[in-house]
Chain A
Amino acid sequence: MGLEKALADSVLLTRLDDAINWCRKNSLWPMPMGISCCAIEMMAFAGPRFDSARFGSEVFRFSPRQSDVMIVAGTTTYKMAKVVRKIYDQMPDPKWVIAMGACTSSGGMYRTYSVVQGIDQFLPVDVYVAGCPPRPDNLLNALITLQKKVARGESKGTYPTVGADVSQSHPASSRRTP
């Protein structure tokens, strides 16, 4: 049964923003930033058993230029932080970040000099996932949470924020002006 049959001769009315956000939320392509063991669970999340394809998110892109959401999965050291930020900066707007696991969210058990105590010190994070490592179900839950945010037009890192005043000051705006 196609849409033509369901709608017949009627019309469908919506706001353009909502229609765009509906498209975006159902095709969130992840950038797999698998830095350590959480990446194994992230692979299970994309595989057939947990199957993130059910939510339109199965296309793992290893190029930041083609991704919408970066899943930072693993212990982020100070040395790696520069690389993560660089790849994040290469992603086109609008973009989102999922901080997967204890290490990524807070440094986790690595309370030490070499590990960043939470990637929100250098990245705008939209969804945090608890667990060490989180089960794939938990990451699916994060994806669904993120989909709800996308549907509302929210993004911590995108500039300009969808539906917001362009002249509004944003940390990224200073970098954009020549």
Chain B
Amino acid sequence: MNARVRSLLETSFPGVPFEFSEFRGELTVVVPKEKIVEVCSFLKTHGETRFDLLADLCGIDMFTPLKRFGIVYNLYSLQRRHRIRLKSFVEEDEPRIASVTGVWKTANWHERETYDMMGIIFEGHPDLRRIYMPDEFEHHPLRKDFPLMGIPGSLDLPKK
């Protein structure tokens, strides 16, 4: 199944620089960020793959000068009973990527969480608000340069 997914992607997207890697039978594909929505909807709708479930979507902070933030898409095909993982990377000064809410509705809250914790902006998201932290909070706490105990004064408490 992994080999089939790989050959399908290579033949359907000629010239797109995918990076494939496999670990313990699980396929990971690094997708250029411009192509993420196309690839996702292809994998969801193609009759041989049918990755109709977005099991999880999350962000990673690599803390590197280039390609600092990663976005990970864990896909599952109910029909084929198969899992794959997609990854995309964005730069620190422009942490933007297209939203996949048009492909899987469930991406809505996952993308809000990733925006709240990592500050990655999902373009085309219908309602990109914070989901955990208060609306007036100005930082993104799961970034590696955020101190563990927070920034003093950034969250207010009621008066005693």
Q: Which residues of A contact B (CB under 8 A)?
A: 78-79, 81-82, 85-86, 111-114, 116, 121-124, 171
Contacts and interface: CB of A to CB of B under 8 A. Distances in A.
Nearest to A157: B160
Interface in B97-134: 132-134
Interface in B127-160: 132-134, 141, 146-151, 155-160
22 contacts: A78-B134, A78-B156, A78-B157, A81-B157, A81-B158, A85-B158, A112-B149, A112-B150, A113-B141, A113-B150, A113-B151, A113-B155, A114-B132, A114-B155, A116-B157, A121-B157, A121-B160, A122-B158, A122-B159, A122-B160, A123-B160, A171-B160
A114 B141 contact: yes
Contacts of A121: 157, 160
Interface residues of B, number: 16
A31 B148 CA distance: 33
Nearest to A171: B160
Contact of B149 (A78, A111, A122, A171): A111
Given A78-B134, A79-B133, A113 B158 contact: no
A122 B158 CA distance: 6
Interchain residue pairs A-B with the least CB separation, the first 10: A113-B150, A85-B158, A78-B155, A122-B157, A122-B158, A113-B141, A81-B157, A122-B160, A79-B134, A82-B158
Contacts of B147: 113
Nearest to A124: B160
A86 B151 CA distance: 25
Contact of B148 (A81, A86, A113, A123): A113
B24 to A, nearest CB: 32
Given A113-B141, A113-B147, A124-B160, 12 more contacts: A78-B134, A78-B156, A79-B133, A79-B134, A81-B157, A81-B158, A113-B148, A113-B155, A121-B157, A121-B160, A122-B158, A171-B159
A86 B157 CA distance: 12
A123 B160 CA distance: 6
Nearest to B139: A113
Nearest to B158: A85
